[in-house]
Amino acid sequence: MKKFKMWNWWKIGACTLAGGVLIGAVSYYNFVYKAEAAQVGDLCPDFTLDYIFGGEDGKMVIDEEQTFWMDQQRGKVVVLNFWATYCEPCIKEIPHFNELQKEYGEDGLEVVLLEGDVSTSAQSVLDSFVNLNDDSEYAKKYRPYYEQWPTYDCTFGKYTDSNNIGQKFDIILNFPVTVVVDRNGIIQYMEAASLTYEELEDIVLPLL
């Protein structure tokens, strides 16, 4: 009987501890982490991208000579798209962003595509999907979406934990996320959803 009671008290204690940890994590996310993240109507946080993907001899490479600074885009309408290589809706919509850049780049639009896979380096993304150096079935499945990237006008970049971009915009794993910033640096749109070209136009054109 005593052993039975002790076992039950141990289970209750373990469950209580686990519940406390979960509540603490949820509270931190909702009241600290999320509270620090940018919202619609806020001034867009400044950030620097460690990588810019540039075209070279028909391929895309890491261009260490360039750095993208968000604050230097003031005066432009900036579209930030957060995506991941494993997110099929993400890569299906990327051509829409390129079409938007080609159509309205001269009017002051800057489209930035931010890849956030924590397990991959920027160069491995390029080699596997763009530069066609990976013959795996996974790469072959997604290759058609990436083959045209060297001709794209968009800015490609990768964000990591070190530059805290994900935290600044509350990007966890809910890809794709699109953020639209007006010419004054104010966030006018932020949603976790896959968008059509027509939907992108409806959001961006009033700001141009």
User: Phi, psi at residue 176, to the nearest 5°?
Assistant: -85, 155
The predicted structure's pLDDT at residue 188: 98
> Within 10 A of 144 (CB to CB), how many other CB atoms are there?
9
CA distances to 111, 143, 194, 195, 199 from 202, in Å: 15, 29, 14, 11, 5
The predicted structure's pLDDT at residue 76: 97
Q: Where are the beta strands (DSSP E) in 34-102?
A: 48-49, 53-56, 59-62, 68-69, 77-83
The predicted structure's pLDDT at residue 15: 54
Beta-carbon contacts of residue 144 (< 8 Å; ≥ 6 apart)? none
Q: What is the dihedral of CA 86, 91, 97, 98, to 10 degrees?
A: 120
Report strand pairing: 59-62 vs 53-56: antiparallel
* Residues, the chain: 208
The predicted structure's pLDDT at residue 29: 41
| Prediction pTM value | 0.77
Q: Give the residue ranges of the chain where pLDDT is below 70.
A: 1-35, 50-56, 58, 118-120, 161-163, 173
